[in-house]
Structure 1
């Protein structure tokens, strides 16, 4: 059931408001706040990150609409869309990329949730506020933060202020950039935002297949993400700048700003305000992680290993890995956070270009649905892998690799490679999609323009046949 088409099943109950709520949680959360402040940290003024986030999130939303069409029209999830483009075995490659990205984001969101727990406990128990750190500096986290992190996981289901005469120096960047460097910093920020959020939006067909009416997901997909993320960005700019005016430093994680407030003004009013602020942010983080990462990755893992995992088991596995990866190490500073975001674009962008080109241009939204569940059909390609998609993917991401390696190792690289890496999302998207189209024109695929939907009898036959083959070890369903 986790990866079947829902063409004739009674599960399609999602309305326009359902999709609005889903995307609003992705936009109005701690990540949006922290993202803009980290962009300021690389030299952009406060107004420029707003533009970068708006443009980047709009690109992600537009590609989400394109990727979601497979769910709207064929009632198929991301796994099936990947099978059509990469092949029955090749689809596991694209799933692995998305799983890896979401594991990182799940851990980051969980770390933020743990910080929210710390804020709440600080407000209730003065002893917890003064808890001595017993962990070494190399751990990258304090005893207090680690306890909050673990408490968040144990309770998971899958704004403080100070009177100030002005909001702070909103347009003052932390470093000074030359004009050319500023332009590329702006483009790099757009690329980072688009790459980070496209990782979630490209899999939205997992949710659009539940739509109640054909147009229910359309407006929320295109508008909600850019609007809500930009709102989160504006709030982050105002409060972070005010915090900079108060404490003389940029505290770009709001929960750390609340903790700093508790350390400097532990009054009854402060405890009350920070308690409710922490509780609200905690609720937000739980909701975001459950909907955007936990269950989303549960679907991917269930599609990856359907014999051993359903959505619930997959979500539990994600929780375990989310602890093991020590996500706080990604958030130590802006110089680390942005390369993490940019790294997603290196692999997500060409994959997204290939998926959208395959569905919209090469196949013109036509699929032989039954063959997506059967080995040796038109989507078997060559030993279960569509070599056209794999070749386009490799050609799409390799130009960004020198800059990608440099970003994490610090090794010198030619300026041209560094600039390409700053634009990795756009380079990968256009190269992956464009080259895939050219390759498919030179070496056409069988069944590319055929469209065969499932009727009630076919759905039953495919499900029964796939189950029988699964027991025999012959199918990938």
Structure 2
């Protein structure tokens, strides 16, 4: 027993109590409201954060998704601009709680779902983090394989030594292994220290994409026929351009719904709201749109050069260096381009999946898991998930994951309704980290109102998800129409039903908050704006005494 006790103590987390970093079943250093000393992200951090999530293969290929359905180039770019604008708006809407109260998604859901029921959205996020981390590692591995081929051309012809039961090749698997191991050291960087990677990678990859487009235009002496694509919806489609545009906007929002959901995980690191807003809007909107535009122009110009449209950058890069048999100049150019894509994919994966997964896992086991440990667990899980099986075999499973926004949009709707309408942007921080006498414990840790509201949000659209994934030849039109609006239906339906249930079965004092800054969270200006007394202004007050002295604020302060 003594040995077991020592082992448990060695792996248990220990925070600095003087900095209010208590570690228990609901709290640790990475879950508490962030103090000013840890809020280091300026506008360029958020610019880089969104740039890294934009400078990727998926965003590069986005126009192809809409062109193949028969839409014109102008219509496709309109979808991308509108989609990016809505992404910036919804992201800011959900991230605002982190900007004001400096808590992340893991804690934020406790006041909506209840202390124990908050595990429902948390477990969904953890599942997605595990799977998308594995898939991103595999896609990054393909780019690493291109880099290796550019250095050693014979690598492209390496003999496949893997058994037939593995739906991949030695070439692809080695790229995955290299990418995974190169990524691992960066997991030790805490989010407060992400500025340099954001700066270097976003500038490197952004310039690389622009240079690639300029080279393609110069070599082709203009843009290819792809650029002149007009609307040509197949007669067998059964959908007009309006419905296809609606579907495209829904698809763009759905593709980043997971990132919108946990926006407060990163917004809480902001030095101030203006830094988040400036960085997010300028990058999520402008950079995201430009990457799709550059991808479209490059693919069109390369069509004139190679006689075929290559949307997938790794495939186009291999063609550019003739599968490793090209000149040293072509291989050098391909190396730097593929390295830029790979580095961007690496940090997009680390931020969006590994670090986010670490925060979510910390919410499950606060005594033993912090961001670093959780990120490592998420990364190791890639070997359990086996992405080579998912990418090369289970196309249906990937389609389901891509459509998981059907379940996430209702969660976003609940979060927005609860924070802005019901709680009037007021949160009682001290009650988010305990179950005894917590106003967020509700009924046995469950706010039952959230469950039916969430279910009603995805019930109308899940049928369309099923027929879409199955690829039914002639599905019910109504189901598909609902699915084409899944994000908006899920968001507004859940928000409305949650609001109605709270009006019919009200929770008293929903807009209460702590009179005293229990965790030393706020700056002097923030405390003054919120009407909160800072601990520094209450000399001699111990942390335990301050928690017990916090009373329900019935003054309904309107300083927000």
Query: Which position in structure 2 is the counterpart of 1:425?
Result: 487
Per-residue displacement from partner, 1:398-420 (whole Å, max 9, x unpaired)? 11111111122234531100111
Q: Supply the distance in 2 between the matched residues of 1:15 and 1:72 (Cα, whole angstroms).
A: 12
The worse-fitting range, judged by mean Cα deviation, of 170-179 and 259-268 is 170-179
Q: Supply the distance in 2 between the matched residues of 1:192 and 1:462 (Cα, whole angstroms).
A: 50
**1:122 maps onto 2:149 in alignment:** yes
Whether the aligned pair in 1 keeps the contact of 2:142 and 2:172 (CA below 8 Å) is yes
Q: Supply the distance in 2 between the matched residues of 1:389 and 1:148 (Cα, whole angstroms).
A: 44
Query: Which position in structure 1 is the counterpart of 2:293?
Result: 234
Q: Supply the distance in 2 between the matched residues of 1:462 and 1:10 (Cα, whole angstroms).
A: 24
Q: Which runs of 5+ in 1 are unaligned?
A: 466-477
Whether the aligned pair in 1 keeps the contact of 2:112 and 2:447 (CA below 8 Å) is yes
Query: Which position in structure 1 is the counterpart of 2:233?
Result: 176
Q: Supply the distance in 2 between the matched residues of 1:337 and 1:170 (Cα, whole angstroms).
A: 33
Query: Which position in structure 1 is the counterpart of 2:449?
Result: 388
Q: How many residues align?
A: 463
Query: Which position in structure 2 is the counterpart of 1:23?
Result: 50
Query: Which position in structure 2 is the counterpart of 1:211?
Result: 270
Superposition RMSD in Å: 2.8
CA shift for structure 1 position 448: 0.9
Q: Supply the distance in 2 between the matched residues of 1:11 and 1:147 (Cα, whole angstroms).
A: 38
Whether the aligned pair in 1 keeps the contact of 2:72 and 2:232 (CA below 8 Å) is no
CA shift for structure 1 position 451: 2.2
Structure 1 pair 281/174, CA: closer, same or farther in 2 (3 Å)?
farther
Per-residue displacement from partner, 1:337-394 (whole Å, max 9, x unpaired)? 9945651220111110110111011111011111111114111112211111111100
Normalization by structure 2: what TM-score? 0.76
Q: Supply the distance in 1 between the matched residues of 2:167 and 2:385 (Cα, whole angstroms).
A: 12
Q: Supply the distance in 2 between the matched residues of 1:96 and 1:171 (Cα, whole angstroms).
A: 46
Q: Supply the distance in 1 between the matched residues of 2:142 and 2:182 (Cα, whole angstroms).
A: 14
- Among residues 258, 268, 278, which one is paired with 2:338 in the alignment? 278
The structure number with the bigger radius of gyration is 2
Counting only pairs closer than 5 Å after superposition, residues 247-266 of structure 1 correspond to structure 2 as 247-263=306-322, 266=326
**1:367 maps onto 2:427 in alignment:** yes
Counting only pairs closer than 5 Å after superposition, residues 32-181 of structure 1 correspond to structure 2 as 32-135=59-162, 139-156=166-183, 157-158=186-187, 163-168=219-224, 169-172=226-229, 176-177=233-234, 180-181=239-240
CA shift for structure 1 position 121: 0.6
- Among residues 236, 239, 244, which one is paired with 1:185 in the alignment? 244
Whether the aligned pair in 2 keeps the contact of 1:331 and 1:337 (CA below 8 Å) is no
Q: Supply the distance in 1 between the matched residues of 2:130 and 2:480 (Cα, whole angstroms).
A: 27
Per-residue displacement from partner, 1:273-292 (whole Å, max 9, x unpaired)? 11111122222122211222
Query: Which position in structure 1 is the counterpart of 2:32?
Result: 4
Q: Supply the distance in 1 between the matched residues of 2:55 and 2:470 (Cα, whole angstroms).
A: 33
Q: Supply the distance in 1 between the matched residues of 2:51 and 2:371 (Cα, whole angstroms).
A: 23
Q: Supply the distance in 1 between the matched residues of 2:138 and 2:485 (Cα, whole angstroms).
A: 29
Structure 1 pair 83/62, CA: closer, same or farther in 2 (3 Å)?
same
Q: Supply the distance in 1 between the matched residues of 2:256 and 2:545 (Cα, whole angstroms).
A: 34
CA shift for structure 1 position 4: 0.4
The worse-fitting range, judged by mean Cα deviation, of 221-230 and 66-75 is 221-230
Question: Runs (4+) of structure 1 moved beyond 6 Å?
Answer: 335-338, 462-465
Q: Which runs of 5+ in 2 are unaligned?
A: 1-28, 188-208, 521-534, 536-540, 549-560
Structure 1 pair 251/416, CA: closer, same or farther in 2 (3 Å)?
same
CA shift for structure 1 position 142: 2.9
Q: Supply the distance in 1 between the matched residues of 2:171 and 2:360 (Cα, whole angstroms).
A: 33
Whether the aligned pair in 1 keeps the contact of 2:114 and 2:445 (CA below 8 Å) is yes
CA shift for structure 1 position 336: 6.3
Q: Supply the distance in 2 between the matched residues of 1:17 and 1:324 (Cα, whole angstroms).
A: 36
The worse-fitting range, judged by mean Cα deviation, of 163-172 and 436-445 is 163-172
Whether the aligned pair in 1 keeps the contact of 2:55 and 2:341 (CA below 8 Å) is no
Structure 1 pair 67/215, CA: closer, same or farther in 2 (3 Å)?
same
Normalization by structure 1: what TM-score? 0.89
CA shift for structure 1 position 106: 2.2
Q: Supply the distance in 1 between the matched residues of 2:247 and 2:98 (Cα, whole angstroms).
A: 31
CA shift for structure 1 position 97: 2.1
CA shift for structure 1 position 298: 0.9
Q: Supply the distance in 2 between the matched residues of 1:378 and 1:43 (Cα, whole angstroms).
A: 53
CA shift for structure 1 position 446: 2.7
CA shift for structure 1 position 246: 4.2
**1:295 maps onto 2:295 in alignment:** no
Q: Supply the distance in 2 between the matched residues of 1:262 and 1:441 (Cα, whole angstroms).
A: 64
- Among residues 435, 439, 443, which one is paired with 2:497 in the alignment? 435
Q: Supply the distance in 2 between the matched residues of 1:31 and 1:216 (Cα, whole angstroms).
A: 27
Structure 1 pair 368/381, CA: closer, same or farther in 2 (3 Å)?
same
Q: Supply the distance in 2 between the matched residues of 1:57 and 1:310 (Cα, whole angstroms).
A: 32
- Among residues 358, 366, 389, which one is paired with 1:306 in the alignment? 366
- Among residues 379, 396, 409, which one is paired with 1:319 in the alignment? 379
Q: Supply the distance in 1 between the matched residues of 2:468 and 2:408 (Cα, whole angstroms).
A: 17
Structure 1 pair 36/364, CA: closer, same or farther in 2 (3 Å)?
same
Structure 1 pair 103/463, CA: closer, same or farther in 2 (3 Å)?
farther
Structure 1 pair 4/378, CA: closer, same or farther in 2 (3 Å)?
same
